[in-house]
């Protein structure tokens, strides 16, 4: 997954704008938070998969090798935008699919 985002810093947001898509600011924040958790999990799994290539089979705790490539991979992930910023941007660009089953059940009755 590509985590490139134009937003790399925290900016002031207009909170009342977030209730337009869901009808409730808190519901919008829950959608953003759940997506941020998904992104965070994906990023962590991807990082762990890349770093697992460097795992050694020896059990000697005294032998710790610093691999330049491993350090560069870690630095790359540290510089990426935070999952919350990516989720907010996706929410603003309507890239997140969400639904509320309780609202759907109320509209059917």
For the entire predicted model, the pTM comes to 0.78
Mean pLDDT of 34-46: 96
How many beta carbons lie within 10 A of that of residue 34, not counting itself? 13
Q: Who has greater pLDDT, 3 or 86?
A: 86
Check residue 7 and give its pLDDT.
62
pLDDT digits 0-9 by tens, 51-87: 888 776 665 555 556 678 888 888 999 999 999 999 9
User: What's the whole-number average pLDDT of the chain?
Assistant: 83
């Amino acid at each position: 997954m590509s985590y490139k985002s134009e937003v790399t810093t925290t900016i002031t947001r207009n909170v009342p704008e977030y209730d337009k898509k869901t009808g409730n600011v808190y519901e919008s924040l829950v959608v953003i938070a759940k997506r941020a958790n998904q992104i965070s999990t994906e990023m962590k799994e991807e990082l762990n998969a890349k770093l697992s290539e460097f795992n050694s089979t020896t059990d000697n705790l005294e032998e710790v090798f610093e691999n330049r490539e491993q350090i560069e991979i870690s630095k790359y992930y540290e510089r990426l935008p935070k999952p919350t910023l990516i989720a907010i941007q996706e929410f603003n660009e309507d890239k997140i699919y969400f639904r509320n089953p309780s609202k759907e059940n109320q509209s059917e009755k």
